[in-house]
Chains A and B, each alone.
Chain A
Amino acid sequence: MNKKGLSLSLAAAFLISASLFANGSSESDGAGDGRITVQSWQYALGDYKGFSKDDELTGAVAKDFNASHPGLQAEVKILRDADHYTSLRVDFAAGTAPDVIGIAPGANLDQFKDLLEPLRPYAEKEWGPDWKDKFTEAAFTTIELSGDGIYAFPSAMSASGTVWYNRQLLGEVGVDEFPATWAELEETTAALRDAGLIPLMFGGKDAWQSYDMFITILGTINKNLANKLFANEGDWTEADAVEAFAYFQNLYIDGIVQDGALSTTLYNEGYSLWKDDDGNSNLPMIFNGSWDLGSLKASNSYYDKFSSYGIGVSTFPDIEGNEAVVLTAPDVAWAVNADSDNKDAAWNFVQWLCYDMQQEVVDGLGFFSVLKDAPAPTVALTPDYSAAYETISSAVASDRTVGFRSSFYPDMNKALFENLQLLAISEITPEEAGAAMNAACASIGR
């Protein structure tokens, strides 16, 4: 081949390959044929029917959906949390986004809603005008907060703001009951430190742990103020807000949380000490949520070893005589791509997971149902699981709940996390934190 021929061949090969890249393959190219693609992040499907490996889990979900929906065929994929959202950005821009998208209610949902199908008409068609009566009030708190439509449906609720504890290790320092008040918490953690044990394990490097902790404290002190502040309708310098900042700061100053909490993430640094791969537990207390109920199932490897420590769960200790709140909010939601060619089939998947499969949610996911008439677990439960489930579900059923775990506004979340970290290192006072939050929230559109 002469030079010219070679160069022309190279150029042609390049252009052909470039055009192939540019063309891509649309995930939604099965227009109207009942094929749908589903993508979510890892824990959104929990341990569906006991499966924990990614491919087995997604395969089981797809198989069950396909079997119960003749003519429809779902292909399910799960990614790590950050990868899921990063890939969605690229896929939406390229027009290859999946038909059904797992999405976290709150700020994530709010950012993506322009690209999602409004689902209210589908729900009305499916269940009639009173469809909302089928769901708990809390199920839509962080989905409808912006008040402009429903772009996702929740499939599972979680409860956080709780402390999981190890009776055996607490017993080593003479503590028989989980601390009921903040003062008792201080005494217990001081005793644990004196005994060379780690006090309350807290992932201060995680934004979500910091929000959970602060909202639990603030909600316990003044629930109404918490609701107002996170809807960007309150004053962060109000006495109760400043007091909540002060309590948060004392977690670090008084050594209630472990040394180095600011550089610890709960998963997996903190959690691996709470329960390692052999079922050993080296922590007396950990700040965590209801999603860990699965660890108390007999089917877990080394359950007997783990259970022998006497694992319990409690709401946070009372603060100034106020019974602690738990944060109960939809943890996982599902949306339909507004550009999907198979919107009806995609809605069928959402409806199936968020309504038909609630028994599986309760039985297998370590979450709570979004339905008002929530099904009770039908699988055999261990005594530890039953006791923990009872504690959390009665807290969720009480009026001591807050219905969100962060703000709808990314700017408010960012400012709050920064100020909580500054409080932790005593760089600012609680009053200054309040003023800084007001300044940060002033420019947020209401």
Chain B
Amino acid sequence: MVNFKRTTRTGLLYVMPLVLFVAVFMVYPVFYNILTSLFDWNGISKSKDFIGLRNYSDLFGDPVFWITVKNFFLFAFFTVFTQAVLGIVLAFMFSRKFYGSDFAKSVIFMPAMLSSIIMGTIFFRLLDPNVGFLRIPLKALGISAPLSNPDLAFWVIILVNIWQWTGYSMSLYFGSIVSLPTELFEAAKVDGVGNVKLLTKIIVPLVRGTTYNLTIIGIIGALKQYDLVASLTGGGPANSTQTFTTYLYDAAFTNYKQGYASAIAFIMFLIALAVTVIQLRMYNSKDVG
């Protein structure tokens, strides 16, 4: 006969290390951060002044915060959408073998293996308006210093991100497409379905699970976007490329406003929570293929 009491106790002992780890390193920091956001604190002094929700009211009244919100949506929408479209088209193209296709796939995927800081630094050099290799073609297009132009700088960051991560989207879509039953493609061929229709009417619906995953990863990536911004613009010019994380870093480490930075972190936490809830609902939905 199974001794349930004893089994439960042993089970609890097994999970205890992980529970302790999660409690100390994940749960406690979240609550500590919420608590810190209620104080005026420079992150250094032993004393903190309780100010209630003032950090939040200051945050919502700060125009730079709304720039970060706008940039988050812009970044999430354009990178997720463009990478998905380019990724699925490339994956569909590579799903049929041709000479050099493996090499081309590797080259397209390669930027995803490099650190974003390295990507940012390379593009920063390329775009330098005085000595960068791209300065001449850009000048021909009437663009002199895109990273110094508040109307263009954030779009450059979006483009670099797309350039870096399209290969990653392509590889996930490629895996999904090649795992689809071959009969499907043969039947489509017999019925005379063209490539565009095959892609849009058959493949896209069948790989929507991958699309959901890439969307969630992309949105969380947009929320955490730091490396490219730090290496390309540092959040400037004039805060036009600030993201949540660069803004948070500036508040905590440049401007000595730890409570304010904690309020930004809590807003990020709420957004991540909402995205995760949507993600879990999608996973639990029977519709996801």
Measured CB to CB, the residues of A under 8 A from B are: 3-4, 7-8, 10-11, 14-15, 18, 82, 85-86, 88-89, 92, 107, 111-112, 114-115, 198, 204-205, 207, 258-264, 269, 273, 410-411, 413-414, 418, 421-422, 424-425, 427
Contacts and interface: CB of A to CB of B under 8 A. Distances in A.
A422 B253 contact: no
11 contacts: A7-B13, A11-B16, A18-B20, A82-B253, A114-B46, A205-B234, A260-B147, A263-B124, A264-B128, A410-B256, A421-B239
B238 interface: yes
B256 A114 contact: no
B8 interface: no
A3 B10 contact: yes
A204 B237 CA distance: 9
Given A425-B150, A427-B150, A115 B233 contact: no
A92 to B, nearest CB: 7
Nearest to B45: A114
B148 to A, nearest CB: 4
Instruction: Please provide the 8 A-B residue pairs with the shortest distance between their CB atoms, ordered closest to farther.
Output: A260-B145, A260-B129, A263-B147, A7-B13, A262-B148, A421-B238, A14-B17, A259-B129
A113 B22 CA distance: 35
Contacts of A107: 256
B209 interface: no
A418 B239 contact: yes
Contact of A262 (B21, B232, B236): B236
A414 B236 CA distance: 13
B24 interface: yes
B28 to A, nearest CB: 13
A262 B237 contact: yes
B153 interface: yes
Contacts of B24: 18
B254 interface: yes
A273 B130 CA distance: 10
Nearest to A419: B238
B46 A263 contact: no
B14 A263 contact: no
A420 to B, nearest CB: 9
A86 B47 CA distance: 18
Interface string B14-45: 10110011001000000000000000001111
Nearest to B139: A259
A85 B21 CA distance: 28
B190 interface: no
A86 B253 contact: yes
Given A4-B13, A425-B238, A260 B44 contact: no
Interface in B228-272: 232-234, 236-239, 253-257
B44 A424 contact: no
A379 B125 CA distance: 39
A14 B22 CA distance: 13
Contacts of B13: 4, 7-8, 10-11
B145 A259 contact: yes
B10 A4 contact: yes
B112 to A, nearest CB: 25
Contacts of A258: 129-130
Nearest to A270: B130
B131 A263 contact: no
A214 B128 CA distance: 24
B44 A198 contact: no
Contact of A198 (B17, B130, B148): B130
